Structure formats: structure tokens, C-alpha cells
Amino acid sequence: MRLVVLDLDGTLADTSADLIAAANACFRDLGAGDRLDPVADALTAFHGGRAMLRLGFSRIGDDWTEAEVDAQYPRLLEAYAADIDRHTRLYPGAERAVETLHSMGYATAICTNKPAALAEDLLSRLGVRGLFASLVGADTLSTRKPDPAPYHAAVERAGGELGRSFLVGDTETDYKTARAVGVPIALVTFGPEGRGVDRFAPDALLDHFDGLPDLAERLLAEG
């Protein structure tokens, strides 16, 4: 079965504002106020919780440590889990594109560096968990993207075939994952970097989800 594997944050859904809000909750608890901007710092949000915390601490002063980042990370996850879908929305056309893929005989899966329980909860709240045959998160295995193991697991659990799959993502991590696995990679241009992701030389760029079904046919053309 042909399979399209999608990243979650910054690819399927714009989660940046809720991620930034969770990080700011940590800084408010420390008496430092909001240190991150939901628009200007959206790209940092898509690089994970610790990246947001590091950026925020760097704006407080120069004497922060990784121990402080580690100490705040559980609080960030707690704040995020409590308000995970206040601002988060699927990117335009995403749900329709996945449904179209299914009608064409494709399966779809999620491979994300978001903790699996949070990813499961978010997709359920957005009403689309049932569209994906498998979900592999940051803590599903002992490694995470760009290690190839999570992608392999997502394909296997979805009942797909590695050689008839490709990844849709938004960051260098997704690019490196696909190259490590040896499958095509399409990077979306509707995230914070826009068409800047072209510098990674992906196999394709995706400007809108409406183009995903045709892109899948091109990247996974059957001989």
C-alpha cells in the first residue's frame, strides 16, 4: 500500500501559538513575564519545547543554564497539555487532502517529535485522529527524528511499504529523516520559513494542501 507520512507541528497543523503560550507560562511563573512572541518566534516553536525555553532564557540574561531549561520543561508540557488546542488549527485544505488520498487508495500516518500522548490528544481534539493509520511520537521509541527508526515504525504500523512511501514535513529535521530512510521528502512552504525551505533541496515543495494528492501521484508513481 502506498503511504504518505506527515509531520504534525508546522506541517499538518499550525501549533505555534499554543506552544509559545506554554513556554510563556513558564517565564511568567518565574516572574519574567512573556518572553516569546507567537508570531515572530513561530519558527522556534516548531523546533521544540527546549528550543523555546532556551530562547526565552537568553532574553532574560546571559547566566541561564541547561539545568534551568530541564527544570522548566515538565512545566511547559503541563501548561501545553492543559490548553493544547486554544489557537491550533489544521492548515487550510489539510483534512480534505488526506481524505482525497484515502479515496485514491493511499494510507496516511503521522511521524512527529511531539510526545505521543500530546499528539494523540491534539489530533483527537481536532477531529482527525481517525484519518491516520499510525502515529509515532518523540517518545514512542528510544530515538526520535532524524533517526530513521520512528519513520520505519510509522510505516510498519500503518501497514505500508517503505519503498512506496514519502514524508511531508517543514524543517531540516524532516529533510534529514527522509534522507536517512531513503524516501522522498516534500517540504511545505506555508510555515514560518516560507519558501526558504527550498535551500534544503527537497524532492518537492508543497505550497498548499490542495496539491498533495497530485504530488503523491508524482512522487510515488507506479511503474
Distance CA 200, CA 198 (A): 5
Q: What SS3 state is found at 111?
A: strand
Residue type, 32: A
User: The C-alpha cell of 217 is what?
Assistant: 501521484
Burial label for 111, CB within 10 Å (0-12, 13-18, 19+), is buried
Q: Is 18 a catalytic residue?
A: no
User: The C-alpha cell of 23 is what?
Assistant: 513556554
Residue with the three cell numbers 487508495: 105
Catalytic residue numbers? 7
